[in-house]
Amino acid sequence: MVPLASCRKAGEPATFLREHRERKSEGTEPVRFMDRPAFGRLLAELARRGYAVIGPTLRGGAIVLDHVEGLEDLPRGLGSRHGPGVYSLLRRDDDRLFGQAPGPDSAKRFLFPPRERLATVSRPGGRLTVDRAADGEPPRYAFVGLRACDLQAVLIQDRVFLGGPYRDEPYEARRDGAFFLAANCTDPGQTCFCTSTGTGPWCRAGFDVAVTEIDGGMVAEVGTAEGREVLDAAGAREASPDEIAASDRAVRQAADRIDRRPDLRGIGEVLYRNAGNPVWDEIAERCLACGNCTAVCPTCFCHDVVDTASITGQEAERSREWASCFSEEFTHVAGGSPIRASGASRYRQWLTHKFASWRDQFGVPGCVGCGRCVTWCPAGIDILEVLAAIRARDGERDHDERHRTAVR
């Protein structure tokens, strides 16, 4: 991989990523307040500006991200419980809109969609024609209610898709057109650990507007000029000192409630020197290699390119789709053999990439502490427990040659 000019060396502490465009607002920008009707008007204003509004909504027993038409589509009064391999919703005794931790989806589903046509090929009258912009105008998304970790994940995927010498054009088109109305977390999930990765629960970068839900409405911070315009159009008034204090308190209390505090100091080096640790084999006994963790991870970007042809042989299509380092076929190289044949080597790849080699590649770790991979692992494997086990058994070696292959 080509290192980015801005890459820091492995082992340096993570810092907050800044967005790739300039923030338009100055330090003197007043904080705003919206009651429920004003927030409804804000959603309408986003739609009026031609955005496809994407927000949390209830589907299949989980909060997912999908198109939302208005307030009634948001998960009002719903809370969530998260644990390794378990997720459930609960009724809150208030009518908060963002009173739950995020479900399996993140902005990735829209900015880097699970399946995307890259090109179509046809041969009308025997002439081969390649059409690259196969899916027409890129959608303009307005994301509503993304959390701090999710914003950081977008900034990480920016480095992946836009940071190198080759820019991913379809990603760039969707990314540049997007609007972010983020929400500071007041009710973290039980698998969240953003306070340890330094990525939350406060939204600090990458938003147009960031809201904090308090009794009676939302306190809103302006991130960009467009964010200000949208707040103006919604009729958001200036927030009172009490409202601002209440919003600060709510997020501070949320941060205090996050009790998962992994020791991530020097974790990259710990992982690098433990490529042969027997912990990998022990986890592989449980790991289903199903790839759910990579699919829900907001930063994972691996994909496969698939070609299909029509029966008549007159049209063909090239598309890309989410893939995972956990699937054996994904590790096949020219000649047909897998480079990571064992489940242990694939599990090790995932964790070592997230916490060690990602940093070498992109200058920051690949984990934003959202806890999704823990919640949505059907085997209930908890990456923090695995990291702790590796640290506790630092230096142990297994005698199985298969797992000795270098990881970097």
Partner 1 sequence: MSGGGRPRLAVFKLASCDGCQLQLLDAEEALLDLAGAVDIVHFPEATSRSEAGPYDVTLIEGSVSTPSQLDEVREIRERSRFLVTMGACATSGGVQALRNWADAGELARAVYPSPELLRSLETSTAVSDHVRVDLELPGCPVDRGQLLGALAALLAGTVPRLSSAPVCAECKRRGYACVMVVRGEPCLGPVTRTGCGALCPAFGRACYGCFGPSRTPNVASLLDRFAVLGLTRDEAARKLRLITSWSPEFRAALREEVPAR
Residue 66 beta carbon to partner 1: minimum distance, rounded to whole angstroms = 8
- List CB contacts of 21: < 8 A, sequence separation 6 or more: none
CB 140 within 8 A of CB 51: yes
Candidate list 10, 14, 373, 390; residue touching ligand SF4; CB under 6 A: 373
Tokens representing 131 are 């059409």
DSSP 332: B
Give the residue among 192, 213, 247, 184 at the shortest CA–CA distance from 95.
213
* Residue whose CB is less far from partner 1, 211 or 384: 384
In sequence order, which residues have a C-beta less than 8 Å from that of residue 328 and are 6 or more positions away? 289, 338, 340, 341, 346
Q: Which is nearer to partner 1, 36 or 332 (CB)?
A: 332
In sequence order, the 6+-apart residues with CB closer than 8 A to the CB of 169 are none
Print the binding letters for residues 48-87 with ligand SF4: x by CB under 6 A, - otherwise.
----------------------------------------
148-162 vs 169-176: helix crossing angle, rounded to 10: 140
Which listed option, ligand SF4, partner 1, none, makes contact with residue 246 (CB within 5 to 8 Å by class)? Answer: none
Give me the phi and psi of 225, to 5 degrees please: -60, -40
Q: How far is the CB of 292 from ligand SF4 (least distance, A)?
A: 4
**Residue 289 contacts ligand SF4 per CB under 6 A:** yes
Nearer to ligand SF4, 212 or 361 (CB): 361
Element (H, E) at 210: strand 209-214
Which of ligand SF4, partner 1, none does residue 157 bind to, with CB < 5 to 8 Å depending on kind?
none
Give residue 376's identity as a one-letter amino acid code: W
Residue 187 Cβ vs partner 1, minimum distance, rounded to whole Å: 18
Name the residue among 110, 33, 30, 97 with its Cα closest to residue 66: 110
Per partner kind, with CB cut-offs from 5 to 8 A, the member of partner 1, ligand SF4, none near residue 103 is partner 1
Among 34, 210, 251, 377, binds ligand SF4 (CB under 6 A): 377
Tokens of 204: 């600090």
Q: Quick one: which of 87, 180, 202, 350 contacts ligand SF4 (CB under 6 A)? A: 350
Residue 300 lies near ligand SF4 (rule: CB under 6 A): yes
379 near ligand SF4, judged by CB under 6 A: yes
Cα angle value 97/111/199 (rounded, 5°): 60
In the list partner 1, ligand SF4, none, the entry touching 216 (Cβ below 5 to 8 angstroms by class) is none
Stretch that binds ligand SF4, among 55-63, 163-171, 180-188, 366-374 (CB under 6 A): 366-374
Minimum distance from residue 315 beta carbon to partner 1 (Å): 10
- Which of the listed partners (ligand SF4, partner 1, none) does 353 bind, with a CB threshold of 5 to 8 Å by partner kind? ligand SF4
76 and 36 in contact (C-beta within 8 Å)? Answer: no
Q: Which is nearer to ligand SF4, 78 or 381 (CB)?
A: 381
Which is it for strands 179-183 and 141-146: parallel, antiparallel or unpaired? parallel
**Residue 368 touches which of ligand SF4, partner 1, none (Cβ within 5-8 Å per kind):** ligand SF4
Exposure class string for 236-271: b at 16+ Cβ within 10 A, else e? beebeeebbebbeebbeebeeebebebebeebbebb
Residues of this chain that interact with partner 1 (CB under 8 A) are 59-62, 64, 66, 85-88, 103-105, 109, 114-115, 284-292, 295-296, 306, 308-313, 316, 321-324, 327-330, 343, 375-380
264 near ligand SF4, rule: CB under 6 A = no
- Interacting span for ligand SF4 (CB under 6 A) from 4-12, 117-125, 298-306, 334-342: 298-306
CB of 79 to partner 1, least distance (A): 15
CB contact at 8 A, 79 and 92:
yes
- Distance between CA atoms of residues 169 and 182, nearest Å: 25
> For the chain, how far is it from start to end, CA to CA, in angstroms?
11
DSSP letters, 38-53, are HHHHHHHHHHHTT-EE
Nearest CA to 105 out of 139, 138, 57, 152 is that of: 57
CA distance 120 to 218: 46
Q: If contact means CB under 5 to 8 A according to the sort of partner, which of ligand SF4, partner 1, none does residue 300 touch?
A: ligand SF4
# residues near ligand SF4 by CB under 6 A: 33
The nearer residue to ligand SF4, 174 or 260, going by C-beta atoms, is 260
* Contact status: 268 vs ligand SF4 (CB under 6 A): no
Binding site residues, ligand SF4, CB under 6 A? 287-294, 296-302, 324-326, 349-350, 353-354, 367-373, 377, 379, 381, 383
